[in-house]
Structure 1
């Protein structure tokens, strides 16, 4: 039974953003899968291009060892996404708005003035046999360095 785009996307988000589990994240890709973050400059802490499940596993494990900037984490109740299917059944697009609380407490989450911070991004998924064959992740590079 093939996984739906929603199942693939939610599994990817859970493995990466929620649990920061490089093994689970890598397993969501095909063995020859490609992860790309085209807007990230060369030499940044966050990987720009990874080829193959094992390279994804190693690079993301190294990245996840670093502490999260300012201790911030998304508020999943306020965040949201829309999945768009395409004419190609193996391609879908995720349009994401991630909200970081601006609750004014000392947890380091949100904006200093108490306003929520919304980060918008787009991901393009190409799938094969229920796994990610290629993911292009378009986001502001300053978010990960």
Structure 2
């Protein structure tokens, strides 16, 4: 069922890729549907040279030169498949935007740390933590698996 739904929605998307609305043709080069049913250049936009080339299109293609074949291709499609797949360099803008957003976030973090955040509590100081370890050893806190199990009370030093 999901496959059928995907097939139906893809057909709808393909059919809408080349719609005419109020005289304007919406043409889009897409990798998933590289040959839309409409042409890139509409009949109304053809110049006299293009119209002459279009009449030659109905004849033998062996008589057409390579430039004429390319011009006929460009009447139907904006880009070739390899041009659509060519790298655009868009990743550079994305990476730059991510780095800019990170820089702004770090800047605001620094401002908050410096001017807004309260000072750290005294329990975060090195002296307080050392005193807490001495206290836990003195009261023999958790002697089986805790910090007191790593202290030798007979020699008054840490076990090795």
Give the TM-score category using the shorter length: under 0.3
Higher helix share: 2
**TM-score with structure 2 setting the length:** 0.18
Which structure has more relative contact order (CA 8 Å, sep 6+)? It is: 1
Name which one, 1 or 2, has greater alpha-carbon Rg: 2
